[in-house]
Amino acid sequence: MAIPATIISQLGSSSSLIPIALKDGVDTTSLIYHSYKKGGKEEGIDRAVDEIGMQVIWIAGIPIFKKISDWTAYKIAKISPKVDTRLLYGDNGDYINWALENAKGSVSKKTTVKEALEAVVQNPKLTKNLFAGKIAVSTALTLAACVGLTQAKQRLTKKNVEDSVKKQTAAKTFLRPDVPGAFKGVTFTGLGANIAKDIAFNPVHNTWVIDGGITTQRLAQSRNKTELAEHAIKEGVFLFTIYGLGEVLKKAMNNFSNKILGIPINMEIQVLQSDTLKNGIETAADDVLQYRNAAGVSEKFEKGLFDFLVKNPDNLVVDAAKNSGIISTVEHNGKKVINTSKYIDVTELNTLAHHIKNFAAKANASGDTDKFIKKAKALKVGSVLTNIAIACTMLGFVVPKLVYKFRQDKTGTCDFHVAKDIKDHMKNKKAQG
């Protein structure tokens, strides 16, 4: 059974949380398994609480807190959270005014796109402040939840180890809450202001901050130096695999397919599978030329270009932009029209036009466009699944092997060293009286 195009698109997207959640799920499952197998029940429980809890907070924390903000602060202010705040920046108000003039459809059952945009135009400062506050608060609360989870996990592990020892020795020793030998004093700096915009508007980049916070507090709250080093290994490979490796592999496979096989696969799978591409491949160069004439050389808002997007829905570039999500749409009188409350990235449009031109030229030169497109779709699906498979292999097999290889070399055993520290402390307390 063929995998739906929407799933392939999400798995291959650099702005979707789905591939990140999938990779982290593999990482979590593998680490829990190896913790039980290598370190025993105590480490298995410690790892399960940490990894599963962090995964839930990491993936769902910011979206949930954002939604709460939408239901409270935005509702009280009577501002729609569905209007993209980027419409208000730059262009001397030309973009937001164009969006208002061309508004059609609805953002919700009770609010039209035009009404939502009018409220934003009348309250630009309030809209910007609401958005900035939503990002700041949701990020802070998510990070606070991560810190709270780590502290709760450490208390739970300490209690479990103490109870286990007490059952075996029938000792009735009361221990202070701090784990002896805890490694403290690690400090880190925050992310630079230059990437604040990306963090605010890209859900994947939102997780950068959370991951930075998770890594920081895991290192800072490590219970001994061995755990600190293990966290450094795990987090380092994890961050590289999640945020770096995928894009490197994607570019490498795209280049290989384009230059070696002669079949470009840069475009989204929805575009490759669309009837518009199949039926318009022979005249694609004309559509791209029409688009380029309207776009000019600008990478920013141009009224002429945006008017072209509205008036030429059947243009191959415009249709492909809608299929790939660069242009958002809404229903209006039974038709899909541009949702002007959403931001349109001109740079992404120009890149798409270039990809279409390149793809069409090679497809038409192949002598069999249908066969060429079919091969491109297969290669696209294969590249996405290969990318995911490599990442899952890194997280599911390589990371645990590295962590426990280090532990074996460092301590001479794969046993749970934190539990050993707690037990040693209990023995010392008992011996002292």
Query: 155 lies in which domain range?
Result: 18-258+413-432
More confident residue, 278 or 424: 278
Q: Is 341 strand, coil or helix? A: coil
Residue 422 lies in a domain: yes
Residues for the chain: how many in total? Answer: 433
- Beta carbons within 8 Å of 217's beta carbon, 6+ residues apart: 146, 147, 150
Q: Taking 80 as the threshold, does the pLDDT of residue 4 lie above it?
A: no
> Mean per-residue pLDDT for 173-190?
37
More confident residue, 150 or 167: 150
Residue 405 lies in a domain: no
Residues 428 and 371 in one domain: no
| CA dihedral (261, 263, 264, 267) positive or negative | negative
Residues 126 and 59 in one domain: yes
| Residue 64 confidence (pLDDT) | 93
| Residue 373 confidence (pLDDT) | 95
Closest listed residue to residue 381, CA positions, set 22, 5, 1? 5
Main-chain phi, psi angles of 71, to 5 degrees: -75, -20
Ordered DSSP codes for 357-372: HHHHHHHHHHS-HHHH
d(CA 238, CA 402) in angstroms, rounded, equals 12
Residues 284 and 152 in one domain: no
More confident residue, 356 or 220: 356
Residues 213 and 293 in one domain: no
For the chain, percent of residues with pLDDT exceeding 90: 53
**Which tens digit of pLDDT belongs to each residue from 343-390?**
999 999 999 999 999 999 999 999 999 999 999 999 999 999 999 999
> Mean per-residue pLDDT for 317-324?
94
pLDDT class of 181 with cuts at 50, 70, 90: very low
Residues 305 and 212 in one domain: no
Residues 270 and 219 in one domain: no
Domain count across the chain: 2
Residues 157 and 193 in one domain: yes
> Mean per-residue pLDDT for 58-74?
92
Q: Taking 60 as the threshold, does the pLDDT of residue 195 lie above it?
A: no
Distance of CA 255 to the CA centre of its chain: 24
pLDDT class of 215 with cuts at 50, 70, 90: confident
- Beta carbons within 8 Å of 415's beta carbon, 6+ residues apart: 39, 40
Residue 39 lies in a domain: yes
d(CA 247, CA 264) in angstroms, rounded, equals 16
pLDDT class of 178 with cuts at 50, 70, 90: very low
Q: Max alpha carbon distance in the chain (Å)?
A: 89
Residue 5 lies in a domain: no
For the chain, percent of residues with pLDDT exceeding 70: 91
Residue 2 lies in a domain: no
pLDDT class of 169 with cuts at 50, 70, 90: low
Residues 89 and 110 in one domain: yes
Rounded to 5°, the CA angle 248-252-257 comes to 150
Q: How many CB atoms lie within 10 A of CB 346?
A: 16
Q: Taking 50 as the threshold, does the pLDDT of residue 143 lie above it?
A: yes
**Secondary element (H or E) of residue 303:** helix 303-311
Residues 105 and 119 in one domain: yes
259-266 contact pairs (CB < 8 A, 24+): 261/379, 262/362, 262/366, 263/362, 263/372, 263/375, 263/376, 263/379, 264/355, 264/358, 264/359, 264/362, 264/376, 265/376, 265/379, 265/380, 265/383, 266/355, 266/358, 266/359
Q: Taking 50 as the threshold, does the pLDDT of residue 187 lie above it?
A: no
| Residue 192 confidence (pLDDT) | 39
- Beta carbons within 8 Å of 90's beta carbon, 6+ residues apart: 300, 301
d(CA 35, CA 29) in angstroms, rounded, equals 10
Q: Taking 90 as the threshold, does the pLDDT of residue 21 lie above it?
A: no
**Which tens digit of pLDDT belongs to each residue from 23-41?**
888 989 999 999 989 888 8
Residues 95 and 149 in one domain: yes
Q: What are the start-end ranges of the H helices in 70-123?
A: 75-77, 94-101, 113-122
> Mean per-residue pLDDT for 199-204?
72
d(CA 287, CA 317) in angstroms, rounded, equals 7
Structure-block tokens of residue 351: 């890149």
Residues 162 and 26 in one domain: yes
pLDDT class of 173 with cuts at 50, 70, 90: very low
pLDDT class of 92 with cuts at 50, 70, 90: low
| Residue 157 confidence (pLDDT) | 87
| Residue 175 confidence (pLDDT) | 38
| Residue 209 confidence (pLDDT) | 80
Residues 310 and 192 in one domain: no
pLDDT class of 252 with cuts at 50, 70, 90: very high
| Residue 193 confidence (pLDDT) | 37
d(CA 241, CA 387) in angstroms, rounded, equals 10
Distance of CA 188 to the CA centre of its chain: 23
229-236 contact pairs (CB < 8 A, 24+): 229/406, 229/410, 230/403, 230/406, 230/407, 233/399, 233/402, 233/403, 233/406, 234/31, 234/399, 234/402, 234/403
The pTM of the full predicted model, rounded to 2 decimals, is 0.79
More confident residue, 188 or 343: 343
